[in-house]
Structure 1
Amino acid sequence: MSNHRSRLLAGLASAVSITLLATACSGTTTDGSTSAATGSASAESTEPIELTVTTFGTMGLDDLYAKYEADHPNITIKANNIDTGGNALTDWQTKQAAGSGLPDVQAVEEGWLSKVMQVSDSFTDLRDYGADDIKGNWVDWKIAQATDSNGRIIGYGTDIGPQGVCYNSKLLEEAGMASDRDGFAELLGGDNASWETFFEVGRQYHEKTGKAWYDQSGFVWNSMVNQLDEGYYKADGTLNVKDNEELKSRWLMLADAAADGLSSAQTQWDWGGGKAFVDGSFATFVCPGWMLGVVKGQVEAGGGDADSGWDFADVFPGGASNWGGSFLTVPTTSEHPKEAAELAAWLTDAQQQVSAFQAAGAFPSNLEAQKDPGVTGSSELTEFFNDAPIGEILAKRAEGVKAQYKGPDDSVIQEQVFGPSVQEIDSGKADGPTSWDNALKLLDTVVAS
């Protein structure tokens, strides 16, 4: 999923207000103090330095480089943005294998962090450049994800993907069901929301309208897996799919929901050019923070606007869940590791994460940024979602998230093993048990034990 996520992110910048961007790039925290890792390079050296940075999709960082260069006259940033996370992974793996060509600052996606951890000694230990002093800036599980088995911190967190539920209030109202934000959350069970309740409410909606409850089963499945303590892999790195009764029970629950007409069987990342978001094809959509801009963009592509009825609720079936997020790392091949580490720290400091949120909808992993008015306040995005307090909701949805271990073939299992089975249950070509067995057969073919 993460590969497609980054491809869709490329279209988000226009979906989120950037009116505060100029002031948000000031390089100071909200209390006016300068970040500890922000700006010593130019004071300590006037030697001209070029720092190369590789990112992917739209991470909201592009407009920040010029500000950093202005504050550090001796530093020039050469940025390379790759279109998708999948292509960025291929680029990194190729250069990593060759032992050359890696940038000074390398963006790493959560979905392939485990591949990076297998060669973590080829990344700079950021503790050598002050990571221990600032590690409290981020949600604790983000730092845990970027810490290898030897306690080395190899990445600073950019965004995270806590999840809430996007829903169309007009469709719920037409069905005679709770359509206000709090009422919808309670309809799903509030703090005790479960997948059982989510699907049961979906069946009620389907009975009243004859329409689907959600767009397609793949994103729902991804969310169901992500919120488990252990997903496709155990914490020790071993595969965790076969004989995993918890995983299987969730799959069978999802398959039953699809068989009952709750899935609209949309093509992932397509939605008919956005038409499905405006023609009533489905009423709910699982939404990590970065997906909100996708929804807005799809509604507008389909000819809709803020009056289309989409809202965002502080609720999620089964509890806290995270989908997506990235890190900035410094490969040991960098000739300027100190300056590269300082740049990575600055780009992930509070005010820069606020700017990234405004530019690309990337919800901050930085705790101070989460509370900043630039995140919690009104924006073009909040206005689109019926003035939902998006920043506040996402901060609440981030509470309780645990750093699930992502194995080296996590995204492969999601897309190539369960992807075909998702299509089977959505199309009605296979029931739950059969589609599960088919996935296990693919697992043996696609992923080495």
Structure 2
Amino acid sequence: MEFSRLRKFTALAGVASLALVAAGCSGGGNKAASADNPVTLTVTTFGTFGYDDLYAEYEKQNPGVTIEATNIDRGSNARTDAFTKLAAGSGLSDVTAIEEGWLGSIMEVSDQFVDLKEHGAEDIKGNWVDWKFKQGTDPNGRVIGYGTDIGPQALCFNGKLFEAAGLPSDREKVAELFGGKDASWDKYFELGRQYKAATGKAWYDQSGFVWNSMVNQMDEGYYTKDGKLNVEGNKEMRAKFDMLAAGTADGLSSNQTQFDWGNGKAFVDGSFATHVCPAWMLGTIKGQLESAGGGAASGWDVADVFPGGASNWGGAFLSVPKSSKHPAEAAKLAAWLTAPEQQIKQSAAANNFPSTLEAQAKIVEAAKPNELFNNAPYGAIFESRAEGVIAQFKGPDDSVIQENVFGPALKMLDSGKGTADEAWNEAVKLLNDLVVNN
């Protein structure tokens, strides 16, 4: 069943879920956990969260609490899982992770989640960068998610491949090469064509991630700030699409499969030389390198620069559904996992960048180099990349448009099976089929 259709089933499930909530909360669900009152809390995350050691630490600190954790491979599958369970009226974990890309859809059914203000959210709101806390607050002022990480974007590049093409490999010189604070997508594609001419190889892994990054930098993306669809007739968006299509037509895309990359092989065999890198992507690349037998010697690095300027892609939230039988204990766990002390540990385990101010400051102060990325000063780079980030409004079908509307259209370009006009028209058709008329 398509995700956009699942949302419509959710509303129908609301009445049933209220009954389940009442039943679930009537049996002492708010009684504090202890050795004499053991409680099992379920947690569902996705991708690379870095929570395994934290779960064990929390259980040790809180006798009587047992955590049963499920991690889904990627955010899109977690979205489908969450909305399937919302439609059924039950089944969500006590603590459920929400990805920024589908937060807008969750906001349409935010009344099915606990208002964390009832569990002390106002007392700790100062922990987070302001825009992150606001993102987790619904239109009625209810806080339904504590922020985990954010995704300020830098540029990953392979220094060995740059050197082979006659380009500088020092990360500061690479930042200058792309234009520093004035880095643009025009320059990015210009350098890509130079690299292609020198090596005969691709510049980026596939068009989808580049497109997502370009759209995220717009003042208004797939939706206007007042919640209206913003694709058809959007001249700025079409111009960006044409720019990407031209680069892909010139052979700059390696036509990789998102979140697969041949089980990481493409990161070690020279298939492409650059990769857009929201902070959490470094953890993803780490896993891919390990899968393919690569490591620090593979040549990857990260520079304090990004085409088009400041941009945020991704980041997550921890929520507590009303169907939880232990809402107070679940809210306590969610607050603990997202506290600055834990965000520092999560960042070390998952290679992401925290959303709390104290955690950010301590990571920068520690100046711990990332060995896998040529000892890059991880904290300083992403603190710099976070400057000027403005969270873009995400509408209810934002992630559907990115993955199911533009995804197939961009794959047409990557595989050489369509022109820019044909691919754009395919996206508009899918937009109408999956979103407008659904």
TM-score, structure 1 as length reference: 0.84
Following superposition, the deviation at residue 286 of structure 1 comes to 0.7
Task: Supply the distance in 2 between the matched residues of 1:388 and 1:301 (Cα, whole angstroms).
Answer: 22
User: Are 1:277 and 2:277 an aligned pair?
Assistant: no
Task: Supply the distance in 2 between the matched residues of 1:272 and 1:114 (Cα, whole angstroms).
Answer: 32
Which segment drifts farther, 48-57 or 123-132? Answer: 48-57
Following superposition, the deviation at residue 300 of structure 1 comes to 4.1
User: Are 1:361 and 2:351 an aligned pair?
Assistant: yes
- In structure 2, do the counterparts of structure 1 residues 267 and 65 end up closer, same or farther at CA, with 3 Å as the change threshold? closer
Following superposition, the deviation at residue 350 of structure 1 comes to 1.0
**What aligned pairs does 1:270-419 form with structure 2 within 5 A after superposition?**
270-373=260-363, 376-378=366-368, 382-419=370-407
- In structure 2, do the counterparts of structure 1 residues 285 and 376 end up closer, same or farther at CA, with 3 Å as the change threshold? farther
Secondary structure (helix, strand or coil) at the match of 1:323 reads: coil
Amino acid at match of 1:260: D
- In structure 2, do the counterparts of structure 1 residues 233 and 376 end up closer, same or farther at CA, with 3 Å as the change threshold? farther
User: Are 1:229 and 2:238 an aligned pair?
Assistant: no
Following superposition, the deviation at residue 248 of structure 1 comes to 0.5
**What is the root-mean-square deviation in Å for CA atoms of aligned residues?**
2.4
Task: Please list the CA deviations of residues 228-274 of structure 1 after superposition, one character each: whole Å capped at 9, or x if unmatched.
Answer: 22211222222111011111010001011112222222233333333
Task: Supply the distance in 2 between the matched residues of 1:298 and 1:103 (Cα, whole angstroms).
Answer: 28
Task: Supply the distance in 1 between the matched residues of 2:334 and 2:271 (Cα, whole angstroms).
Answer: 43
Task: Supply the distance in 2 between the matched residues of 1:241 and 1:135 (Cα, whole angstroms).
Answer: 34
- In structure 2, do the counterparts of structure 1 residues 50 and 276 end up closer, same or farther at CA, with 3 Å as the change threshold? closer
- In structure 2, do the counterparts of structure 1 residues 243 and 278 end up closer, same or farther at CA, with 3 Å as the change threshold? same
In structure 2, the partner of 1:126 is: 116
User: Are 1:200 and 2:190 an aligned pair?
Assistant: yes
- In structure 2, do the counterparts of structure 1 residues 144 and 204 end up closer, same or farther at CA, with 3 Å as the change threshold? same
Amino acid at match of 1:210: G
Task: Supply the distance in 1 between the matched residues of 2:231 and 2:101 (Cα, whole angstroms).
Answer: 17
Answer whether contact 1:354 1:375 (CA < 8 A) is retained: no
Amino acid at match of 1:196: D
In structure 2, the partner of 1:441 is: 429
Following superposition, the deviation at residue 376 of structure 1 comes to 4.6
Task: Supply the distance in 2 between the matched residues of 1:297 and 1:80 (Cα, whole angstroms).
Answer: 18
- In structure 2, do the counterparts of structure 1 residues 367 and 122 end up closer, same or farther at CA, with 3 Å as the change threshold? same
In structure 2, the partner of 1:246 is: 236
Task: Supply the distance in 2 between the matched residues of 1:305 and 1:266 (Cα, whole angstroms).
Answer: 20
- In structure 2, do the counterparts of structure 1 residues 376 and 215 end up closer, same or farther at CA, with 3 Å as the change threshold? farther
Answer whether contact 1:157 1:348 (CA < 8 A) is retained: yes
Following superposition, the deviation at residue 383 of structure 1 comes to 1.1
**What aligned pairs does 1:170-189 form with structure 2 within 5 A after superposition?**
170-189=160-179
Following superposition, the deviation at residue 46 of structure 1 comes to 6.4
Task: Supply the distance in 1 between the matched residues of 2:32 and 2:231 (Cα, whole angstroms).
Answer: 48
In structure 2, the partner of 1:159 is: 149
Secondary structure (helix, strand or coil) at the match of 1:205 reads: helix
In structure 1, the partner of 2:17 is: none
Task: Supply the distance in 1 between the matched residues of 2:415 and 2:140 (Cα, whole angstroms).
Answer: 47
Answer whether contact 1:214 1:263 (CA < 8 A) is retained: yes
Which segment drifts farther, 324-333 or 204-213? Answer: 204-213
Candidates 252, 255, 264, aligned match of 1:265: 255
Secondary structure (helix, strand or coil) at the match of 1:134 reads: helix
Task: Supply the distance in 2 between the matched residues of 1:88 and 1:431 (Cα, whole angstroms).
Answer: 33
Following superposition, the deviation at residue 309 of structure 1 comes to 1.8
Following superposition, the deviation at residue 436 of structure 1 comes to 1.1
Answer whether contact 1:141 1:401 (CA < 8 A) is retained: no
In structure 2, the partner of 1:29 is: none
Secondary structure (helix, strand or coil) at the match of 2:153 reads: strand
In structure 1, the partner of 2:95 is: 105
Task: Please list the CA deviations of residues 324-356 of structure 1 after superposition, one character each: whole Å capped at 9, or x if unmatched.
Answer: 211111222334333222211111001211121
Task: Please list the CA deviations of residues 309-332 of structure 1 after superposition, one character each: whole Å capped at 9, or x if unmatched.
Answer: 211000001111122211111222
In structure 1, the partner of 2:106 is: 116
Task: Supply the distance in 2 between the matched residues of 1:306 and 1:70 (Cα, whole angstroms).
Answer: 35
Secondary structure (helix, strand or coil) at the match of 1:372 reads: helix
Answer whether contact 2:33 2:329 (CA < 8 A) is retained: no
Answer whether contact 1:358 1:375 (CA < 8 A) is retained: no
Secondary structure (helix, strand or coil) at the match of 1:79 reads: strand
Task: Please list the CA deviations of residues 285-318 of structure 1 after superposition, one character each: whole Å capped at 9, or x if unmatched.
Answer: 1111121133233334444331222110000011
Task: Supply the distance in 2 between the matched residues of 1:76 and 1:296 (Cα, whole angstroms).
Answer: 29
| Structure 1: segments with no counterpart, 5+ residues | 4-39
Answer whether contact 1:55 1:107 (CA < 8 A) is retained: yes
Task: Supply the distance in 1 between the matched residues of 2:143 and 2:405 (Cα, whole angstroms).
Answer: 32
Amino acid at match of 1:383: E
**Percent identity over paired residues:** 63
Answer whether contact 2:48 2:283 (CA < 8 A) is retained: no
Runs of 4+ in 1 over 4 A off after TM superposition: 40-43, 373-376
User: Are 1:429 and 2:417 an aligned pair?
Assistant: yes
Task: Supply the distance in 2 between the matched residues of 1:147 and 1:135 (Cα, whole angstroms).
Answer: 11
- In structure 2, do the counterparts of structure 1 residues 268 and 66 end up closer, same or farther at CA, with 3 Å as the change threshold? closer
Task: Supply the distance in 2 between the matched residues of 1:447 and 1:196 (Cα, whole angstroms).
Answer: 31
Answer whether contact 1:376 1:392 (CA < 8 A) is retained: no
Task: Supply the distance in 1 between the matched residues of 2:42 and 2:164 (Cα, whole angstroms).
Answer: 53
Task: Supply the distance in 2 between the matched residues of 1:83 and 1:429 (Cα, whole angstroms).
Answer: 29
Answer whether contact 1:41 1:72 (CA < 8 A) is retained: no
Which segment drifts farther, 160-169 or 370-379? Answer: 370-379
Following superposition, the deviation at residue 131 of structure 1 comes to 1.2
Aligned length: 408
